[in-house]
Amino acid sequence: MTVISAAGDILPTEKTLVSGQLSQIERSLVLSADHLDSGTATYGSGPAFYTIILEAIAGGGVMIGHSE
């Protein structure tokens, strides 16, 4: 996920163009500047949460006798 913000003088069509270009690579979201930090923290932490879940599942499998 790419989170982007634009200055006040950027036209809506320009925001749409940039968002569309970035969406060709991955999902993108346009946020206001005051929400940029929280958006980056939220979307940037997602992979870490999935990693913790997968490690717990793997550890549970090892505990019940599956090999690593």
Domain boundaries, the chain: 2-63
Whether 57 shows a pLDDT value over 90: the answer reads: yes
Whether 46 shows a pLDDT value over 90: the answer reads: no
The band of 64, judged by pLDDT with boundaries at 50, 70 and 90, is: very high
Q: Tell me the whole-structure pTM to 2 decimals.
A: 0.50
User: Residues, the chain, total?
Assistant: 68
Contact of 31 with 19, CB cutoff 8 Å: no
Burial of 3 (0-12, 13-18, 19+ CB in 10 A): buried
Diameter over CA atoms, the chain:
61
